[in-house]
Structure 1
């Protein structure tokens, strides 16, 4: 895949396997997210990827600075301004994304998404009443790579409805269990009301 150019620099993401190598043995949960999570769930490539997303619980986000010691870390302050993330700085609740690269002369390699949690429960920032045990957030592929469960990843993607989101939904739909379909349908109805994926989940 060719590098992708953005106003904030070039993206050339590492692979899920490389992320798993960097995070081997850490003492906190993490999951490959985004389009790669869908591919790990369905067991095949689906489309090209601009970046690589990894989901972390906010309570664990300072650990990135230890895992990627020597890298550059940048926080995405809303509404879309990148700024250096200082060592030891606990990011505020309105910052959900962190971009990382080995140094200023290299492309961006991985983006971390921060999720809210309380005790052993994940809490959706789009609907605080939508919660799940952290232990049910993801699975592990045959190579030992943790990935975000497809129904949760599709819930994140449902707001945008970009062509790539529809492609990921179409790829994941056949592998969703009845329970996963029901959870996603309920989450979409609660958060969005009407949504074009709802009739497809019901078939």
Structure 2
């Protein structure tokens, strides 16, 4: 596994299979997110990865300490502070990302992203008007690993697309059916008005 040096230490991301083994006993939903979610959707390797993202609901945040018992969990507190997150602390709504590693001398292995929910609906942290039934925001690969629906992942990537986001879009776009393309196009229109990806979704 390639080691990526970050401002707060090096990254050696866990594999999706390793994440699944760590999170298997959680009593709440979770999904592989980011570029690995795109790869699980298309069923093949697309590109290199500097980290691995896992999405959980904010209301389930305390279960993360149970899944990663003995690990260090650090909250990414805007505008750029990475600080220890203690088990008893309720993270404020401004904190969306948690970096996790087995110990202080270990590389970072997992980044957990917290998103919102309202009852049985997923609610985008970018805009509460963008929402979906929780039962429909993910899928499972042939090995049973849950991953975030690609159209939702692309929605999050669309704010400031980087080269790797364009790569992910190209990889998964042929697999998006009309309903998924329409949802993504409407979500982009709602949040950004015009967006260069919308023409490619028609």
SS in 2 for 1:139: strand
Deviation at 1:131, TM superposition (A): 1.1
Q: Identify the residue that residue 168 of structure 1 maps to in structure 2.
A: 168
Partner of 1:28: 28
Please state if 1:107 is matched with 2:107: yes
1:25 positional shift: 2.9
Following TM superposition, by how much is the alpha carbon of 1:14 offset from its aligned partner in structure 2, in angstroms? Answer: 0.4
Secondary structure at 1:49 match in 2 = coil
Equivalent-residue separation in structure 2 for 1:181 and 1:99 (angstroms): 32
Residue of structure 2 equivalent to 1:87: 87
SS in 2 for 1:199: helix
Structure-2 residue corresponding to 1:6 = 6
CA distance in 2, matches of 1:86, 1:164: 33
Counterpart in the other structure of 2:143 = 143
Shift of 1:124: 1.1
Q: What does residue 65 of structure 2 align with?
A: 65
Q: Deviations over 1:72-109 (max 9, x none)?
A: 01000001210000122110001000000000110000
Runs of 4+ in 1 over 2 A off after TM superposition: none
Determine the C-alpha separation between the residues in 2 that align with 1:171 and 1:31. 19
TM (norm. structure 2) is: 0.98
Preserved contact between residue 76 and residue 97 of structure 2 (Cα < 8 Å): yes
| RMSD over aligned Cα atoms | 0.7
**CA-CA distance at 1:173 after TM superposition:** 0.2
Counterpart position of 2:117: 117
The runs of 5 or more residues in structure 1 that have no matched partner are none
